[in-house]
Amino acid sequence: MNLNKAALTGGIVWGGCLFVTTLASVYFGYATAFLQAFGSIYPGYSITLTGSVVGLIYGFLDAFVGVYIIAWVYKMLSK
């Protein structure tokens, strides 16, 4: 397992999901209650156009680090 590729994939998926979901909430009111919780987790995040970019960055970094750690532990336990 390539740790960097796994982490990059996780970061792209979670950051992209947060970005798209925030845009859907801005334009259609979709998942507002779910997204409001991220304001307390990610400083500067809000359900706005700017917030969608902030969420993309935080989501990418958060998932990149998290998936990297999980993949690293998996790799160590697989030896």
Locate the domains of the chain by residue range.
3-77
Over residues 36-72, the pLDDT tens digits come to 999 999 999 999 999 999 999 999 999 999 999 999 9
Cα–Cα distance measured from residue 11 to residue 71, given in angstroms and rounded to the nearest whole number: 13
pLDDT per residue as tens digits for the range 1-46? 899 999 999 999 999 999 999 999 999 999 999 999 999 999 999 9
Q: What is the pLDDT of residue 1?
A: 84
Q: How far is CA 58 from CA 13, 54, 78, in A?
A: 12, 6, 30
The residues, ordered by sequence, that sit 6+ positions from 7 with a Cβ below 8 Å of its Cβ are: 63, 64, 65, 67, 68, 71
* pLDDT for 79: 82
d(C-alpha 73, C-alpha 79), whole Å? 10
